[in-house]
Each structure stands twice: as structure tokens, then as C-alpha cells.
Amino acid sequence: MQRRNDVIHLRNGGTSVVLDTRRGPLPSIVFWGADLGDLSQSEADSLGVAARPQRVSGGLDEPAPLTLIPQESSGWLGTPGLSGHRAGRFFSTRLATQAIDLDEESATLVIEATDPDAGLAATVTLEVTAAGLLRQRIALENRSGEPYSLVSLAPTFPLPHDVAELLDTTGRHLRERSPQRHTFTIGTHLRESRRGRPGSDASLLLAAGRPGFGFERGLVYAVHTAWSGNHRLLAERTPTADSFLSAGELLVNGEMVLAQGETYTTPWAIGSWGDGLNELSRRFHDELRSRPHHPTRPRPVTLNTWEAVYFDQDLDKLRALAERAARVGVERFVLDDGWFLGRRDDTAGLGDWFIDPAVWPSGLTPLIDAVRGLGMEFGLWVEPEMINLDSDLARQHPDWILRGRVDLPVSARQQHVLDLAHPDAWQYIFERLDALLLDNDIAYLKWDHNRDLLEAGAADTGKPRAHENTLALYRLLSTLKSRHPDLEIESCASGGARVDLGILEHTDRIWTSDTLDPIERLQIQRYTGLLVPAEIMGAHLTSPKVHSTGRAVSLDLSAGVALFGHLGIEWDLTDLDEGGLDAVRRWVDIHKRHRRTIHSGVLVNGDTADATTDVRGVVAADGASALFTFTQVSTSVTYPPGRFTLPGLAPARRYDVRIAAGSVSAGPGQSPLPWAEQPIRLTGRQLGTVGLQAPVLYPAQLILLELSASEPNEPH
Ligand code: DGJ
């Protein structure tokens, strides 16, 4: 890292960020992207000068810089970085740098800024991490006696001018992370969540790249908000040729009114870049994996009881299921919804976190003992932030339910939302969960959240509480974890409605989607996997007829798609005969054999020209081995299909390629696939550029390829 006069160069993890502190009241990012190498003083200065625009006719006398907090007072006419007022006054701020502190060791820059007239002070923290991510957050303090109503505050990430295409995702329950692409024209592309959680439609990343960027290549940038409540991502291109991304929390009316001395701190806004989405995503994965609390012990293969029994909890049936689970190699058995007081269906019980003696007369101990006796861990489903009106809790504490008026908000799944920011409600939930964990041998909680928040206000004050509830949730999760240090928690929200790096600071796995349909999962997992590495992305085997889509699928397809995740099973295994159990066990064994590689390697997606095919894989961190799946999603017009390439391999290493699972047996009128009959050995470069002839497969079939490098230790 260098500081050359007033131009600061942060370098870390293959990323450079150059900031000019001389233009405008706050520093502006002149460049963010590929490592520029060591810059001389004159080069650093020149980079700043080279980035300055001319004054133009009809424009301001001083062209406005896109500073770290763009402000109208310096001529900025796009979306402001900070918006707020004091009862309508001080609508415009002029935060100006007071001090800059550089920490060379951590590539961190802290900028203190004040606006004495408006009575505000801001601290901008900007860091280039060892994984090459750019993280920013801003803390805003009210130093005046008058309250300051904050409307919005979010860090900005400038983009190069040739970035002209946007990618984000939308979706719904059972179909999260559906990609959409747009031309990045002048104007603002805004993705907001007002759901009190990121939502099934949330875009985990808002990406902007050179036209046509893909997974394997094409310069691309993206941002994420590490926050589990309302959020706002935007991409903006201005008529003055400024393009930027911004990532922050969405604050509703009146939610953030700062009294004197109070500070609001934005969530971390995190940016990545890459030559292709694979590289961009690798930075997020590397970052997560470098955290001290990132799960490192082998991820236990899980059986979740939901689709096997739904609410029909019966000790004998569940013991039989556990016995089958253990036989196929399951290591963690999770009892889903339906075990607590009054919870016979989804209309009642939420809030009453006591084991229901009507279903469990001897408590959960007999089931837990059976599970533990079979050598598995025991996990339990909870949904602590929710409440049914038909519950003792709601009858005793109706004032603990979030609302925007006297009447309750529109219900969803017959449930409402508990005000966890109410200290008594928080304490009650904490004590119930703590007692359950103390009284039972529970290693894992599946923590669900099954509705969007509406009118999320406190019953007593009438004030908005979405922000406070997100913080209360984090506090609850971290308190439970500190009291139960070995406890693991899964973040589930009707599937993937709460996937973000805020919740992942406190949890160990996300439930990716409620659909187990492998065809649907291909896309859902690909786009979730841009942010979330395989070891914390839940992926389960489905029963042969998928419950959410009615589609009949093969075990090979279901297991091959689930392979590149944290493997689980969601299927009534008591329906299976010995042959069926053997087939499941074979896939569990494949996963176990490779999980060290899958859970530490580099996840790669192929850019297939034929949209009916799918190529994805994991390359071991040292390049010594790799696994890929080739999936024929639907029938292709070309027959046989063309060649496919395998991205991300060590270019100079030679790999033996073999089909490890799935069948390429020739159908009527077909000859065998030559490379499946005859051993082949090719370099990573050859496999990545020339590729392999794709097999002729029925639609919705896949093959698993296992690659092992023949010579050790050439650079990856
Ligand atoms: C929604 C979850 O995503 C499912 O897996 C299941 O746990 C149900 N909730 C239970 O109510």
C-alpha cells in the first residue's frame, strides 16, 4: 500500500483501489479493480490528474466528483450518498475530510469528516481485504441538540466507463435467484427489499460488467449488503459519465432519527470484481473461508424430516427413518416443524417453545437417544421470530407483535412477527431456546423465518422496528452461540429468503431453497453460489417425485446436483428397499470421499453455448484434482451435442478424466462415446479450450467426471 502525496493506493489480494483526496470535500475512488503493481509517486499523482474531467458548456464551473459520500454541495446531481434533514432543514450537507488514517498492515483507510453547520460527523471505513474484496461502511453521528432524521446513507463503488451490462437476480418462494440482465443505460437500476428480510426475490449481488460477461471471462464488478433486514442495491449511470454501484440498508420513514450523540452505522457494503463471475465469486468464498469461525470440520451429511413426515411426528416412524438414515451414511438428523406445543399444522403454536406432551409424552429424549445411539447428531427446527395468534404467547402478550397501527398487519402463513427488539420478548425467546439447548442434546438449530415483514412497528411506541429487530436477532444468535459454543445454526427463511453475509456472521449454513427439484436447483444454486461457498449451502436429495414441482427425477440427477453443496437428504427413506438404500449410500459415499475438495476447492461454472446443457465443477485448491458435472437439462437441437470445456483447471497439469457416476450407455442407434471407452489424459489448458465431446443423454440426466492430475506441483 502506498500513500503518494494526496493519492492513496490500497493493494491487497490482487485488487488495487486508488483514491484521490484532493478533489472535492471527501476522497474519491479513481480506480478499483486489478492490481496495478507498485506505483511511483508521479504515477499515482498522474492517475489522479488523468481521471479529472473538463468543464463543459451548460455544466457546473467545477465538475462534481463522485466522492465516497456524493453530496449536492459539491455539485453531485445523481443519487446522494447521504440524505436526511432536521425537521426539513439542513437537507444539504457538506461533510469534508478532517483526518485520514491509513493502516498499511490491514489495507484499511479511515476517513473522519465533519459538517459543523449541519452538526454531523461521518467516519468512512474502507478496506481491501486479503481476498481482494473492497469493503466500506459509514458511521454518521449527530452532534447537534436537534434530532437528525436520516433517510438514506450508503457507500458507493465507482465503475469503469466500459461496464455496460447489469446482472441481478429476482425470484419467489421455490424459485429464488433467477437471473435477469439489462443494458446499463443512463439512469438508476434499483433493487430494494422492504420485506424485513432480504427476500426470495433478493439479488444477493448486483453486478455490472462489460457486455457479454460470463462466468469464465469478461470484466465484471458486483456489490452486496451484509444485512438481513431491508436493503437497497443500485446501479447508476449519469449523463456526466459516472457509473457506480451502491449497497446499503433501506430505512423506512422515521426509522432512524438520531438524537444528539447517537450514531448510525451502515452495514458493510462489499464489492468484488473479476475477469468473469467465477473469479468475482471466488473472492467472496476466500473471504468467508478465512474467517476464524468458518466451519472447518467435515460438514455432516444431514437428513431433514420435513418432506418425509411433515407435521406427522411419530416416534416409531422417526426412529425407523433415523435407522435408515444412519444406514445410508447420514451424520446429522434434523427434526423439523411440528414438535412444540399445539403445533399440529401451520395455524398454531409459534411462540410456545415447549415440547408438546401430546406428541412427545416422554419429551424428545427417546428420539434423541435413538439418533445419538446410531452415531448421528441431533438437530431441531425453530422459528423464534414468529408468533401464531393461536398460541399461549399471543394470548398473554399481544403487545409483543409487530404492527404499524392498532390493527395487526396482513398475516402470512397464518402467522405474525414477534417484536424481538422488545426486551421482554427477547428475554423470553432467549430463555426458551437456552433451556431447550440445556435440557436436550441438540447440536444444531434449523432457524426458520417464514414470512415477509409488513408494517414492522412497535406496539407501544408506534415506531418502525425493522432495523432494531435485525440487530436483536443478531444479538440473540450470538448470545446463544456464546452460551453453546458447539452449536451450529442454519439460516432458513421459507428456503432462501434470508441469505446474506450479515446472517452468515452468526450462522453456519443457509437453506438454499424449499424446492428440491434438481432442475430448478441448477440455477438457484449457481446464483446463490456466487456469494455462498459450497460447504455452507444446503443441498438435499429429493424423493423421486419432487414435492414442489411434481416432476419425476432420477437419483443420479438429484445427487449430482446436490453434490456441490452441504449434502443432505429430504426423503422418506422408509419407502426404500435394500437396492434403493444402496443407491443412496453410494452417492453419500461419493460426497464424503470428495467433500474435503468440494468444501475447500474453487467452484467454477462453465459458459456453455447450448443453454440446454450445464457444466459446473470444483477444482481442488492445489489443482491436483477436480470434479465436474455435465447435465443435459432438456433436449438439445444439435444431435449429438457439441463439445464442452472444463474451466478453472491448472493449465499446465495433465489430468486423467473418468466418468465416476451417471450413465453414457448407448441408446438405440447410438455408438458408445469414444472417450468413455478409452482413457484420456489432457492438460488443464486443453480441457479448458478444446474440451470433450458431450455425451448423448436423455433430458434431465447428468454424468459426474472425476479428474486427477498425473504430475505433482505445477503452478495452478
Ligand atoms: C419452511 C422451510 O423452508 C421448510 O424446510 C420447513 O422447515 C418448513 N418451513 C416448516 O414449516
Q: What is the pLDDT of residues 335-362, one digit of tens each?
A: 999 999 999 999 999 999 999 999 999 9
- Residues within a 6 A CB radius of ligand 1: 306, 336-337, 381, 448, 450, 492, 494-495, 511, 514
pLDDT at 5: 55
Cα separation of 278 and 609, whole Å? 17
C-alpha grid cell, residue 622: 492445489
Task: Tell me the per-residue pLDDT of 630-647, one tens digit each, with 9 for 90 and over.
Answer: 999 999 999 999 999 999
Q: What is the mean pLDDT of residues 311-340?
A: 98
pLDDT over 90 percentage in the chain: 95
Q: Which fold has domain 2-52+62-289?
A: Beta-galactosidase; Chain A, domain 5 (2.70.98)
Mutation probe of ligand 1 site: the residue of 336, 350, 451, 509 with most atoms within 8 A of C-beta: 336
Å from CA of 444 to ligand 1 middle: 15
Q: Is 512 helix (H, G, I), strand (E, B) or coil?
A: coil
- The CA distance from 29 to 17, in Å, is 7
Query: What pLDDT shows up at residue 28?
Result: 97
Which of these CATH numbers, 2.60.40.1180, 3.40.50.1000, 2.40.50.140, 1.10.15.40, describes 606-709?
2.60.40.1180
Nearest to 150 by CA among 224, 242, 257: 257
Does the annotation mark 439 as catalytic?
no
d(CA 322, CA 387): 30
Helix residue ranges per DSSP H, 158-289? 277-289
Task: Give the CA distances from residue 395 to residues 9, 214, 398, in Å, rounded to whole numbers and listed in that order.
Answer: 60, 54, 6
> Which residues lie closer than 8 Å to 608 by C-beta, 6 or more apart?
614, 615, 644
Tell me: pLDDT of 668 over 90.
no
Question: In the structure, what pLDDT confidence band is assigned to residue 712 with cuts at 50, 70 and 90?
Answer: low
Instruction: Give the Å distance between the CA of 488 and the centre of ligand 1.
Output: 18
Would you give the end-to-end CA distance of the chain in angstroms? Answer: 26
pLDDT in tens, 354-396: 999 999 999 999 999 999 999 999 999 999 999 999 999 999 9
CA of 385 to the centre of ligand 1 (A): 14
Amino acid of residue 263 = T
Nearest to 237 by CA among 201, 177, 274, 186: 186
Q: Residue 624 pLDDT more than 70?
A: yes
**Pairing relation of β-strands 219-225 and 108-115?**
unpaired
pLDDT, residue 41, reads 84
Calculate mean pLDDT across residues 23-31: 95
How many whole angstroms from its chain centre is CA 69?
26
CA of 582 to the centre of ligand 1 (A): 28
Q: List, for residues 429-455, the tens digit of each pLDDT value.
A: 999 999 999 999 999 999 999 999 999
Give the residue-averaged pLDDT of 205-221. Answer: 98
Give CB contacts under 8 A, 24+ apart, made by 144-147. Answer: 144/86, 144/118, 144/119, 144/120, 144/260, 145/260, 146/86, 146/87, 146/119, 146/260, 147/86, 147/87, 147/257, 147/258, 147/259, 147/260
What average pLDDT does range 2-30 have in this prediction?
89
Q: How many angstroms separate the alpha carbon of residue 447 from the centre of ligand 1?
A: 9
Give the ligand 1 atom nearest the CA of 336: 7
Q: Which of 20, 115, 356, 448 is catalytic?
A: 448
Ligand 1 atom closest to the Cα of residue 446 is 7
Sequence letter at residue 69: I
| Residues paired with residue 172 on neighbouring β-strands, in sequence order | 175
Q: What is the pLDDT of residues 448-483, one digit of tens each?
A: 999 999 999 999 999 999 999 999 999 999 999 999
Q: How far apart are the C-alpha atoms of 544 and 695, rounded to whole Å?
A: 24
Domain ranges of the chain: 2-52+62-289, 302-383+423-449+475-597, 606-709
What secondary structure letter does DSSP report for 464?
Answer: B
Task: Kindly list the distances between the CA atom of residue 139 and the CA atoms of 113, 154, 263, in Å, as whole numbers in the listed order.
Answer: 10, 10, 6
In DSSP terms, which residues pair with 239 in a beta bridge? none
Of 381, 449, 451, the one to substitute when testing ligand 1's pocket (max ligand atoms within 8 A of C-beta) is 381
Q: How far is the CA of 336 from the centre of ligand 1 (A)?
A: 7
Decide: 675 and 693 in contact? Cβ < 8 Å: yes
451490462: which residue's cell? Answer: 165
Atom 2 of ligand 1, nearest CA residue: 494
Name which residue sits closest to atom 9 of ligand 1, judged by CA: 494
Per-position b or e across 485-516, b if 16+ CB within 10 A of its CB: eebbbbbbbbbbbbbbbbbbbbbbbbbbbbbb
Atom 11 of ligand 1, residue of closest alpha carbon: 337
The secondary structure of residue 693, as a DSSP letter, is E
- Residue 448 known to be catalytic: yes
Average pLDDT, the chain: 96
Q: How many angstroms does the Cα of residue 448 sit away from the middle of ligand 1?
A: 7
> pLDDT at position 665, please?
77
Active site residue: 452, 514, 517, 556, which one?
514
Distances (CA, A) of 543 to 387, 496, 558: 31, 20, 9
- Distance in angstroms (rounded) separating the CA atoms of residues 229 and 402: 15
Segment 323-339 shows an average pLDDT of: 98
pLDDT at 209 over 90: yes
- Give the CA angle between residues 698, 699, 703 to the nearest 5°: 70
pLDDT class of 664 with cuts at 50, 70, 90: confident
Task: Looking at the CA of residue 381, tell me the nearest atom of ligand 1.
Answer: 7
Our mutation pick for probing the ligand 1 site, out of 337, 347, 444, counting the most ligand atoms within 8 A of Cβ, is 337
Q: Residue of the nearest CA to atom 5 in ligand 1?
A: 514
Ligand 1 pocket test: pick from 450, 489, 490 the residue with the most ligand atoms within 8 Å of its Cβ: 450
Q: How many whole angstroms separate alpha carbon 693 and alpha carbon 35?
A: 37
Q: What is the CATH number of domain 302-383+423-449+475-597?
A: 3.20.20.70
Torsion over CA: 646, 648, 650, 655 (sign): negative
